[in-house]
With several copies, the nearest count.
Chain A
Amino acid sequence: MRPASLSELMAVAAAREIRDQDVVFVGVGLPNLAVNLARRTHAPDAQLVYESGVYGARPARQPLSIGDPSLATGAIQVMPMAETFTYFLQGGRIDVGFLGAAQIDRFGNLNTTVIGDYEKPTTRLPGAGGASEISWLARRTVILLPQKRNKFPERLDFRTSVGHHTGGGSREALGSKTAGPSRVITNLGVYGFDASSKEMELHALHPGVTLDEVRAEVGWELRVREPLETTEAPEPETLRLLREELDPKGVILG
């Protein structure tokens, strides 16, 4: 069997962030794949909540969007979106939220709004969607994004979602009752956050990736946790699940 690709390693690393019985607020694509992988391996009782108002979906196909009809058919519950946001997310019932972003800073704050000036943007991005509230209200968040220097800037062009704010106890000082970002997973490695400064630090490199390659794609002086680890390669059965059952057409993992 060929070794895991970098995007497969990203999916596997994301799946490892799910604990059994976690209630996960999830979008489509990579996060969805990661949760389904976790459910097929170490976390069979993890539950998915889609912000479109679906709990306990059992789709008969890979959904293209979080509003796919296959998510409603056969779900445990389909409810008004207001209930997903108030009773589930704001009600404190979400253990993990997955987020992506166009930019992330060293404290895990995210930009999904604009590149450039807000009034005259060079690129208009989608905006907050559910991200600002997921980042604020899920017990912890896991951030998935490709590693590029312009996506890891010293300063965000716009702060759409708050992570660890300005570090230290600043998130808590804002009134947060949740832990904020716990992991950042890219196609090059896995990051955590230092317990006291709350600054992002590299925990592991994916197999075959060098520290210099990572540093070249980060816009600030990157902290590295010692000893720097290598992302554990997935079991063959895990790879088989990904390739043959969960994403057989390679829609998500390429």
Chain B
Amino acid sequence: MSARLLSMKEAISQYVDDGDVVAAEGFTHLIPFSAGHEIIRQRKKDLILCRLTPDLIYDQMIAAGVARKLIFGWIGNPGVGSLYGIRRAVEKEQPRPLSLEEYSHFGLLSRLKAGASGLPFMHLRDYDGTDLPAVNGSIRTVECPFTGESLAAVPALRPDVAILHAQRADSSGNTQVWGLLGVQKEVAFAAKKVIVVVEEIVSEDVIRADPNRTLVPGLVVDAVVAEPFGAHPSYAQGYYDRDNDFYLGWAQTSRTAASLEAYLDEWVYGVASREEYVEKYEGELERRLKPQPNLSPPVDYGLYT
């Protein structure tokens, strides 16, 4: 009903099962890397991973062999190039075969929207004249009962587990986010179980002081994990910058299976937790990525007594 405060180890072990459909979302912003690393450490397997953009987090997870299928909209390292871990899985079945189910961003977010809304499908204007419906039987059409026109339709997606990173939540899982919002709200309401990882735990009063800022209530959250820098090398608006150097360097790191595995050995298997990962950076993350403050002005909700 309302979330429990857990360690990442506990949260992943209790809420992610082998074979689950897992959506670790966050569009560029707030990507839950620390949760992905724990999934790798716990050697989960046969996961069906969903994300609009798989990003480095899924490149690492797929290279580590936790997944058997990927549902996605766009595979790439934004502004940099390929995700070689995923390409090796697709092109060479290394370390194991990976099946793909692909949409566009609009199509996949429509699937999550339907899942969140308790609807069996969502319709959208897309895919006419493309080859996508021919390779994905889940892209169909529906006829408008008013105009007779045909629209694309995609089925609801209800992941077994959604994992979100956020700036803050209270210990009941009431979660607030600012900056890019991605499809965070949709995936949280669509999923059967939800893990929220936050930069900081705040008191319920902080949440109640700005209720329009709340992304999801604790009602839909199962576990809250507090892990500062848990989104690195992605970012948390106002807390730390995107580590663009890491993203640029990943082109090299991921280029061969050996170099990617060496990274995992050192930075994933080689640490027990995000706390150790941050310590291993010896203060560099703080020094290099902390932005100057830029506070929003308050708004007045008024006291109505």
Contacts and interface: CB of A to CB of B under 8 A. Distances in A.
Q: Give yes or no for direct A-B contact (beta carbon below 8 Å).
A: yes
Contacts of B129: 109, 159, 162, 165, 170-171, 174
Contact of A130 (B90, B104, B125): B104
Contact of B219 (A47, A79, A80, A118): A47
A126 B70 CA distance: 13
5 contacts: A52-B27, A65-B28, A67-B180, A121-B91, A131-B104
B87 interface: yes
Query: Which range contains the number of A residues in contact with the other chain?
Result: 35 or more
Between B52, B179, B189, B305, the greatest number of chain A beta carbons within 10 A of the residue's beta carbon is seen for: B179
Contacts of A132: 104, 106-107, 126-127, 130, 132
B181 A89 contact: no
B105 A60 contact: no
Interface string B126-157: 11111110010000000000000110000000
A21 interface: yes
Contacts of B182: 52-53, 80-81
B76 A56 contact: no
B94 interface: no
B126 A130 contact: no
Interface stretch (A90-98, A142-150, A200-208, A210-218): A90-98
Nearest to A73: B301
B1 interface: yes
A69 B302 contact: yes
Contact of B181 (A55, A74, A81): A81
B183 interface: yes
B72 interface: yes
Contacts of B75: 124, 126-127
B242 A73 contact: no
B174 interface: yes
A65 B78 contact: yes
B113 interface: yes
Given A79-B181, A160-B130, A162-B129, A90 B117 contact: yes
Contact of A161 (B125, B130, B174): B130
Interface string B156-175: 00000000000000000010
